[in-house]
Structure 1
Amino acid sequence: MSKKKKSPSKKATPSTSKASTQKDKNSNSSQELQVKNSFWVNHKMHLILVFFLSAALYANTLGHQYAVDDSIVILRNEFTKKGFKGMHGIWTEDTFTGFFGSKRNLVAGGRYRPLSLATFAIELQLFGEVVTSSDGQPALDKDGDKNYRGKPWISHFVNMLLYAWLCVVIYLMLLQMFNPKRTQNNLKGYFIALAGALLYATHPIHTEAVANIKGRDEIMVLLGSVLAVYWVLKAAVAEQNKALFYEVGAILAFIFAIFSKENAVTFLAIIPAALYFFTKKELPEILIKTVPYIVIVGIFWFGIRGPILGDAASVVSTNNAPATELMNDPFLKIENNRYVSYTNEERLATVLYTWGKYVKLLIYPDPLTNDYYPKHIRTNMDVIPTFSMPEVLLSVLLHFILGILLILGTLKRKAYAFFILFYLATFSVVSNLIFPIGTNMAERFMFLPSVGFSTLCAMGLYELVQRASDRGKSWVDALRIPTAVLGVLVVLYSIKTCTRNLAWYDDYTLFTTDIVHSPHSAKLNNAVSGVLQDKANRSNNSIERKMLIEKALGHSITATQLHPTYNNAWLLRGNANVMLGGVKKQEGANNTNPQAKRSLFEEALKYYDAGIQAYNEVLRLRPDHPDVHRNLGVVYRDRGNLLGQHLGQIDASIASIEKSLTYSNKDFESFRLLGIAYGIKGMQLQQAGRLQEATNSHYTAIKNLEKALEITPNAVPILYNLEIAYRQLNQPEKVEEYHQRWKKIDPEYDPTKQQ
């Protein structure tokens, strides 16, 4: 028998082992060389990409107009419109004062954001145009100052650049956290910094803060805060002389942030946490380095903000609490025909429901809307979220897990815990949990927390890289799937951002776009009604105009159904009814069929009556409303004209016009119509043989026509009607006097062509 061949030993010979080791070293060296020479560790290329991509995403806003709250900070803000001369008011008053003209405690805590407001004043001064009167001279305001008209593209351009700069600073902060020495073979640091910055830069949830000019306060507060964190971390590892430079820079950046928006206060937790998680500093030293920021917040909050805002500065003030109003307090419901506060359970369930909605929008940002006001956030028009709802329970579970991970990660100094903290800390002040913020939620409130979300996503992608590498794959192969996922997300986010920007072109585009997604929002229905009415007033197409007004009426009715005490919605409901009354009146005047004509006039009368009913509701809710008295005067006047001229109801016409004068006692048209109506009544009384009553009626007509003449002395139609009135009274001298007066003013006047 032949002997079995001895199997070779599995143990490598020394020469084989050395060769294998040398091969591994060569392989590792090759991979390191590949990494060092790759795009992934080229931070200069990263900075260029992040900056230009961030800017390019919002380049399509440069042609946009002002929208939404831009009126508060620019268009109708008496301080910013003054340019440099408005700085005193900007820095010494509540942010809303320049818009409302006085302190208005609309939401708890007040608002003091002078730095972001100051940038608008600077823009108007440097790039705006002086507002002029009809004679071409500067139109001075009540203080004798020039006012400036802004150019929206300048403001959009500034927002675009600030956002691009912010995204660059986020990249630098993340790189400092994960690769402070810029080590070329530290792929992890570069990957997380780039991926985090790109995910943040492209995320569509940021469109509200960037595409809307007013959102600059969000950009500025985050820019200053992140820059402070970055420089604090730089100071922690820099040489002593450079460290001082970075520390001073961080303090200045934080001051910049907190004067832009109060949210910067949350970085009192984030700055020391950054030192704890990303440096080797011990707690005593961390606390010492946090002291300057605590001092800054104390001086700002209690030494500057508090004295300026007064009672409104406190979120728990009882002496000057905000008025109970659904548009400023979403946690209200109707019971026994009055608004009462949610129960504690209803309030907490609603808050947690919105927290879940935020997470959903961060993961899947669609649909987006500018309006989450009541009752958009409810699952149906009148269903308040409860703890029995799956969405609320899921939100509770998710945030409970985040809390556990935060605690465990903090104890072990894990980086993911820092970004959970970043998310929760910056979200806390807009969460409605600590204090009410005046609305259920808003996409702009995710502008700061999404830094944490984006970085956690980037860390998750890198984990895929690390696991693939641990399985023996080269870095190039390990990067393929995570890079593909990142690329798909960046492309999809970018497309969504660019298309969402289009909705922010102006109020009309934004409101009519978003009402599809927020049909149960009282505020948005009210806003849509307003922009539709504005467009109708500018339209020369009668069919289009009628269609727009009918849509506007529908939205205002919905708004009042959602919020029965919404005085602005009732006002717009009244306006839409009056406008439709005018349309029906014109249709009747153009119709040749007597029966159809009268039917249209009667429809017009119903619309006028509905308008009056809506205006009376405004009076009941807010007697001092600046517009309602004027509007009531107009509708009663137009109603009287309809009754007298087209429905032949002279007494009802006179009563309606006289009612109009109780609201507007110096209205030329009301006196003119009343004079004509009394003149017609006088002629009817003459025909009935009631001569004394007829004479009294003609004298009343003259009295009203003379009042119209006092308002407009050379009004030819009034002079002509006075001639007619005196002819009925058989006073030839007066007849000739007024005849000569109107002939002298307008010899071509043809009374037969006048109404």
Structure 2
Amino acid sequence: MIHPEPSWDHHVPLPKLGPLYSRLLVALVSLICFINSYDGDFVFDDSEAILNNKDLNPDTPLSNIWKNDFWGSNLSSNSSHKSYRPLTVLTFLNYLLAGGLYPVGFHVLNIGLHCVISALMIDVFATLIGGLACDGTAKRLGHVPKASLLAALFFAAHPVHTESVAGIVGRADLLCALFFQLSFLSYCRAFQGDKSDKFSVSWIVVSLLLCAVAMLCKEQGITVLGVNGVFDILVICNLDIYELTHKLLVRRKTADCLKVGVWISRGLIIRLALLLFCGSLLLYARWRIMGTGPPAFTEVDNPASFAENVFLRIVNYNYYYSLNAWLLLCPWWLCFDWSMGCVPLIKSAGDWRIVWLLLLWACLIGLIKQALCSPDSSKRTLTFGLVLLVIPFLPASNLFFRVGFVIAERVLYLSTAGYCLVLAYAGAHCCCRWRKHKKLLQAAMLALLGMNVVRCAHRSQQWTSEQSLFTSALSVCPLNAKVHYNVGKNLADHGNQSAAIKYYREAVNLAQAELIGKEALKILPKDHTIMFSLANVLGKQQKYKESEGFFLNALKINPNAASCHGNLVLYHRWGKLDLAKKHYELSLKLDPKAPGTNENYNMLKRKLEQRQRTAG
């Protein structure tokens, strides 16, 4: 087996610690990150999943948990979300021990689970980096690989985890991740011994049972079977896919490939068959449990999946992937809800946002190439980083079925492990390559870790109340009608009716005005006031081309509408300054006191003067 300490491990800016101290350090960092949320309220989805969940009523038979979905609705109902997580719901009964529905007990348990999961990540990362010999060698040397410790620290302090830890409904992700880890580590235990081609059937069975438990906590748990399969192929069988492909396609040494095939068929085929059979059985059972078929989601939940053009549907899915990747790379713009206009659809191949998905695939292809061509220790780390990044995310990718969200930070909980492993590898690899700047790079890694800890503490504080949570989303998703509605509702619940009305109106404008306006035009197709209102709504949603069409149609019917000319401010936002100037001047000619037009016109003139100076 490969030594658990890769050649670049000594470049990691951490001291050598024993297994116990390493776990305590990671757990402590996890605690510091999220301790702010321990005294938080029930916020957002917590009310539906806990306070209004009839399955948590002491008078309801416990057996109902196995018949209903996560929210307490009957699985056979067409309105059910089909999220079958009975073991997670069972843990919500911890309130019986506390003597009532007090949120502090729920939050403390969530924080504790994250601490345990983060500490266990050391074992997962160490096994992926160093192979099955890692545990024994770590005991012999008295310390764990520093690379696995750094990756676990990054995992413990990643801000995108806040929703899963500080939001009580995130317990589904925490429990799923815990049993995901246990299933993987149990699978690895099946091969403890001198000969990797012999394995313990008992430990394989334990791993499969833990996979089923993970799936009963959250559906994403089944993806551990894919990780186990890849680990078996690349580590247990020590199969070099790059070398095998090179022999077959370049050197065309089919005989060598057949020899490899004969060798791996002794145990690998049996194990992969067990994984495939168990996975198929779990999926079949899950399908039967859903009863009436998959859940029915609306266009508001996932607009990209309703796009008629297949090309644009694929483009938007990939755009969503790039946004998820951005949340992992730069978790500063976090929001409790990303639906209802928060992420406008890409509607043409000329949309500049396509650059992001092209960049995503360029980076992925570059990482895959690096994983194939790197030395053995680097290849393993990078490969499994990508495996952990991609495979747990597949259920949320829209590839196999439509999901009921645009972006959900909680589904990235397990994928973050892959990202953190790649990040630790990248940092140590850069230190190894640019030795002159080693101390600077090490300081940058520690600074990033510190920034993440601070961001986690700040974000977990925002999750302590609905007011702070909803208000924090206004700057991230100003076009999200649900954000405005929730801010308004929270203000109304606290007696501030006048302030609530403002947010309610904005929510209605964003969510319904477009639909209402288009329906009204079917009845009154020549009404320029309806066209004018609809154009304003579309402009706020940054649908400039469509907004322009309605503005111009309104002006054809009533060319002397000063307000219509003045509201063609969209040309200003769109960068068409000359057209904006023309319509501002027409508006002021028709009505010199047109509200806001003078201010916009003066601002435009300054921009035009600046453009002329730059051109000169």
TM-score, scaled to structure 1: 0.57
Equivalences for residues 341-380 of structure 1 within 5 A: 341-378=307-344
SS at match of 1:530: helix
Distance 1:277 1:554, change over 3 A: same
Query: Is residue 54 of structure 1 aligned with residue 41 of structure 2?
Result: no
Amino acid in structure 2 at the alignment position of 1:158: L
Native 8 Å contact 1:94 1:103 kept in 2: no
Task: List gaps (5 residues or longer) in structure 2.
Answer: 1-6, 240-263, 518-616
Whether the aligned pair in 1 keeps the contact of 2:151 and 2:423 (CA below 8 Å) is yes
- Whether the 8 Å contact between 1:356 and 1:395 is mirrored in structure 2 is yes
Structure 1: which 5+ residue stretches go unaligned? 1-30, 130-149, 315-320, 333-339, 537-544, 567-755
SS of corresponding position for 1:40: coil
Which amino acid counterpart does residue 342 of structure 2 have in structure 1? Answer: H
1:97-108 maps to which residues of 2 (within 5 A)?
98-99=72-73, 103-105=77-79
Equivalent residue number for residue 181 of structure 1: 134
Query: Paired residue for 1:310?
Result: 291
What letter is aligned with 2:42? Y
Instruction: Tell me what 2:45 maps to.
Output: 69
Counterpart amino acid of residue 505 in structure 2: G
Shift of 1:278: 3.1
1:409–1:483 CA distance, 2 compared to 1 (3 A): closer
State the 1:242 CA deviation.
Answer: 10
* Correspondence 1:92 to 2:67: yes
Report whether the alignment pairs 1:392 with 2:354. yes
Partner of 2:96: 125
Counting only pairs closer than 5 Å after superposition, residues 279-294 of structure 1 correspond to structure 2 as 279-280=236-237, 283-284=264-265, 285-294=267-276
Contact between 1:80 and 1:86, CA under 8 Å: does it hold in 2? no
Q: In structure 1, what residue type is equivalent to 2:290? A: L
- What is the Cα deviation at residue 106 of structure 1? 5.8
Structure 1 CA distance for aligned equivalents of residues 142 and 26 of structure 2: 18
Paired AA for residue 417 in structure 2: V
Question: Offset of 1:554 from its aligned partner?
Answer: 2.9
Please say if residues 419 and 452 of structure 1, whose CA atoms lie closer than 8 Å, have aligned partners that are also in contact. yes
* Residues 484-528 of structure 1, C-alpha deviations (whole Å, 9 max, x = no match): 222111110000011011111122221122122211112222222
Aligned equivalents of 1:231, 1:205: Cα separation in 2:
28
> Where does structure 1 differ by over 6 angstroms across 4 or more consecutive aligned residues?
185-189, 239-242
Task: Provide the rounded CA distance (Å) in 1 between the counterparts of 2:302 and 2:199.
Answer: 49
Aligned to 1:112: 84
Report SS of the residue matched to 1:429.
Answer: helix
* Deviation (angstroms), 1:204: 0.5
Q: What is the SS of the residue equivalent to 2:291?
A: helix
Shift of 1:292: 4.0
In the TM superposition, what is the alpha-carbon distance from 1:248 to its structure 2 partner?
Answer: 4.8
Partner of 1:606: none
State the match for 1:8 in structure 2: none
Write out aligned runs for 1:35-50 (5 A): 39-50=15-26
Where 1:434 maps in the other structure, the secondary structure is: coil
| Deviation for aligned residue 1:99 | 4.8
Distance 1:112 1:445 in 2: 16
2:149 to 185, 194, 197: 194
What's the counterpart of residue 273 of structure 1?
230
The structural deviation recorded for 1:209 is 0.9
Contact 2:44 2:466 (8 Å CA) reproduced: yes
Deviation at 1:483, TM superposition (A): 3.5
Aligned residue identity for 2:493: D
Distance 1:375 1:482 in 2: 39
Q: Distance in 2 between matches of 1:482 and 1:521?
A: 39
**Are the counterparts in 2 of residues 206 and 444 from structure 1 also a CA contact under 8 Å?**
yes
Shift of 1:188: 11
**Cα distance in 2 between the residues matched to 1:78 and 1:152:** 17
Between the aligned partners of 1:410 and 1:114, the Cα distance in structure 2 is: 41
- Structure 1 residues 239, 105: closer, same or farther in 2, change over 3 A? farther
Among 491, 498, 501, the alignment partner of 1:532 is 491
Question: Conserved in 2, the CA contact under 8 Å of 1:532 and 1:552?
Answer: no
Residue 459 of structure 2 is aligned with which of 500, 503, 512? 500
- Retained in 2: the 8 A contact 1:525–1:559? no
TM-superposed CA distance for 1:546, in Å, is 4.8
What is residue 283 of structure 2 aligned with on the other side? 301
Change (3 A) 1:419 1:350: same
Query: Cα distance, 1:532 vs. partner?
Result: 1.9
Distance in 1 separating the partners of 2:334 and 2:427: 26
The answer to whether the 8 A contact 1:508-1:531 is kept is: yes
Change (3 A) 1:372 1:205: same
Indicate if the aligned counterparts of 1:81 and 1:124 stay in contact, CA closer than 8 A. Answer: no
Specify which of 156, 164, 167 is matched with residue 118 of structure 2.
167
Structure 1 residues 407 and 459: CA distance shift in structure 2, 3 A: closer
Between structure 1 and structure 2, the one with the greater Rg is 1
Aligned to 2:414: 448
Q: What is the alpha-carbon distance in structure 1 between the residues aligned to residue 61 and residue 120 of structure 2? A: 31
Aligned mates of 1:442, 1:287 — CA distance in 2: 36
| CA drift at 1:361 | 1.7
Q: 1:358 to 1:307 in 2, by over 3 A?
A: closer
Residue 50 (structure 1) shift: 0.6
Distance in 1 (alpha carbons) for counterparts of 2:414 and 2:343: 22
2:564 equivalent in structure 1 = none
TM-score w.r.t. length of structure 2: 0.69
What is the CA-CA distance between 1:327 and the residue it aligns to?
3.0
Residues 361/560 of structure 1: CA separation in 2 closer, same or farther (3 Å cut)? closer
Greater relative contact order, per chain length (Cα 8 Å cut-off, separation 6+): 2
CA shift for structure 1 position 81: 2.5
- Which letter does structure 1 place at the counterpart of 2:346? I
1:451: how far off?
0.9
- How far is the alpha carbon of 1:418 from its aligned partner? 2.3
Instruction: Determine the C-alpha separation between the residues in 1 that align with 2:227 and 2:426.
Output: 21
Give the C-alpha shift of residue 353 in structure 1. Answer: 1.6
Identify the residue that residue 328 of structure 1 maps to in structure 2.
301
Change over 3 Å in CA distance of 1:163–1:245 after alignment to 2: farther
Q: Secondary structure at the match of 2:58?
A: helix
Query: Residues 463, 86 of structure 1: CA spacing in aligned structure 2 closer, same or farther, 3 A cutoff?
Result: farther
2: CA distance, partners of 1:187 / 1:419: 25
Displacement of 1:194: 0.7
**Pairs within 5 Å for 1:585-600:** none
Whether contact under 8 Å (2:229, 2:275) holds in the other structure is: no
CA contact (8 A) 1:93 1:308 kept: no
